[in-house]
Amino acid sequence: MDSSASFEHRSRPATKLEVSKRADPVRTRGHRGGVISMHRALAHFRLGPMNLVAAISLFVFFTSIWLVLLPKICHLWNRVLTLGIRVLPLHADLGLAEHHLTPFIRFDIPYLRMEPVLPSSQAWWLTCVATLALFGASFLLSGKLIPVMYLLRGILLVPATALLYFAVLSARFPHNPDSYMEGLVTAGIALISTVPLLFGLTYYIFDFGLLKKALLTAVTMIHLALFLPLQVLLQALFLQKTVLFMPVLYMIFGMPINILVIIAFYSWGMTWRFRSAPGF
């Protein structure tokens, strides 16, 4: 009995403290007095049957539409790349790589073909000076920009290793611009094809409404489809100078940029109100 009484005596202040914390309105208000609502990432999520049906339906719909329109999209990229060769200071030819997913879905992937140019001593030293200058400039950033500082230094590791490689084993570089350009377009097609699946697993399951889910998917895929040929043309302008830039273009300004585009659109879509949220 004494031990039971002492346990109740010890647990009573803790219970009162928890109640006071929950009842304290100051803990749920910001410094200006506004109410801080719970973030949707911390809210309890329940997957409803309708959201599951919508996720599967949208995935099948957008994947089917993409596969049907892929030959026409490749033809559009063909025209854009042809126009870029004509109006830009670009010494390249247009190549076509035949692919087929099924006997009924065949398409030719357009890409740019150009002669590989090994880095001259002047290009090597200019790139080396620019890399060292950017590395030195990272030390001049303020303490508030520490994430940017370390991100910049991490990026500079790529051209630094490329400079070291071409200084020692320049003649043994195994890649050429033709295969790189074809791989860039092929990887872009594969990435766009996965957008419905990615959104199906991470966005369609939330209760945003069918229209918002379809709109976000369509905008993301259209943006990537229009961005890819421009990305190819821009990289070709640098790659025609020397293959020294190929590691930087591939690891920094290749598919990582396209993935960041998907993340940006997804983040934008997650700021929209749920269908059941007040004020929708």
Task: Identify any residues that bridge with 94 across adjacent strands, giving them in sequence order.
Answer: 112
Q: Please tell me the predicted confidence (pLDDT) of residue 37.
A: 65
- What would the pLDDT profile of 135-187 be if each residue is shown by its tens digit? 999 898 888 888 889 999 999 999 999 999 988 887 778 888 989 999 999 99
**110 dihedral zone (left: phi>0; alpha: psi -120 to 50; beta):** beta
Higher-confidence residue of 262 and 279: namely 262
What is the C-alpha to C-alpha distance for residues 183 and 186, in angstroms, rounded to an integer? 5
| DSSP bridge pairs for 29 | 35
The dihedral built from the CA positions of residue 22, 27, 30 and 34, taken in this order, carries a sign that is: positive
Q: What mean pLDDT comes out for the span 249-259? A: 93
- For residue 75, name the pLDDT band (cuts at 50, 70, 90): very high
Residues 233-260 have a mean pLDDT of 92
| pLDDT digit string, tens, across residues 8-66 | 444 455 444 444 444 455 556 665 666 666 555 555 556 677 778 888 999 999 999 99
Question: Residue written as tokens 């914390």?
Answer: 21
130: tokens are: 């620019």
Q: What is the mean pLDDT of residues 248-265?
A: 94
Average pLDDT over residues 215-236: 96
DSSP the chain: -HHHHHHHHHHHHHHHHHHHHHH-GGGGB-TTS-B-PPPTTTSPP---HHHHHHHHHHHHHHHHHHHHHHHHHHHHHHHHHHHHHHHSS---EEEEEEEEEETTEEEEEEEEE----PPPHHHHHHHHHHHHHHHHHGGGS-GGGHHHHHHHHHHHHHHHHHHHHHHHSGGG----HHHHHHHHHHHHHHHHHTHHHHHHHHTTTSSS-HHHHHHHHHHHHHHHHHHHHHHHHHHHHHHTT-GGGHHHHHHTSSHHHHHHHHHHHHHHHHTSPPTTSTT-
Tell me how far CA of residue 269 lies from CA of 11, 171, 214, 220, in angstroms. Answer: 46, 48, 11, 10
Output the pLDDT for position 31: 59
Would you state the pLDDT for residue 43? 52
pLDDT, tens only, 76-91: 999 999 999 999 999 8
Question: Given this model, what pLDDT does residue 221 score?
Answer: 97
Which pLDDT score is estimated for 234?
Answer: 94
Per-residue pLDDT at 98: 85
